Amino acid sequence: MRKTSAYLTDELAARLRRIAEAEGRSQAEVLRAAIEAYPEPTPLRHIHADGIAEGPGDSIADIPEEELLEGFGEE
């Protein structure tokens, strides 16, 4: 086990003391339990979209609305 220091506000230190006393545990045990309950950060996903479509690469905003709606709603 590794020893670590943490700076707490007076309010947090008092709260930690009260919790530890109420549960009959050491302050270190309460801190460890709180950290263990904290969710692991989710890793960032890197999405690569290179080369998944064919075309000139122009923005859809540059295509006239009439062209975009051509054939829409037809079976």
> What pLDDT, on the 0 to 100 scale, is given for residue 72?
87
pLDDT digits (tens, 9 = 90+) for 8-65: 999 999 999 999 999 999 999 999 999 999 999 998 888 877 666 677 777 888 888 9
Q: How far apart are CA 38 and CA 24, in angstroms?
A: 22
Q: How far apart are CA 9 and CA 56, in angstroms?
A: 58
CB 23 within 8 A of CB 31: no
Burial class from Cβ neighbours inside 10 Å (0-12, 13-18, 19+) for residue 16 reads middle
